[in-house]
């Protein structure tokens, strides 16, 4: 019971500070000045190129296995 009273007291003391902090940061931070000059299109192109290369390698390996299974069987 003592612990419950302590927790409820701490909660009552913390709520006004939490409400004030939420009201102060309601709009949030503005990172547009930092992120406006970053261009992710080249990074996306590179990632897609690597993915396509890996897909081609895996398809080639699978195709070679199929051809070898036809020759063996």
Question: Is 73 strand, coil or helix?
Answer: coil
Q: Who wins on pLDDT, 35 or 17? A: 35
Task: Show the tokens assigned to 65.
Answer: 């296995």
Lowest mean pLDDT among 2-6, 21-25, 41-45: 21-25
Q: What is the pLDDT of residues 28-67, one digit of tens each?
A: 778 888 888 888 888 999 999 999 999 999 999 999 999 9
Chain centroid to Cα 53, Å, comes to: 24
Q: Does 27 score more than 80 pLDDT? A: no
State the pTM of this model: 0.46
63-66-72-73 Cα dihedral, nearest 10 degrees:
-160
């Amino acid at each position: 019971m003592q612990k419950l009273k302590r927790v409820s007291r701490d909660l009552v003391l913390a709520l006004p500070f939490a409400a004030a902090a939420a009201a102060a940061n309601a709009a949030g931070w503005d990172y547009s000045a930092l992120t406006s000059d970053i261009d992710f299109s080249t990074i996306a192109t590179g990632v897609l190129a690597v993915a396509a290369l890996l897909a081609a390698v895996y398809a080639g390996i699978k195709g070679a296995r199929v051809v070898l299974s036809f020759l063996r069987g």
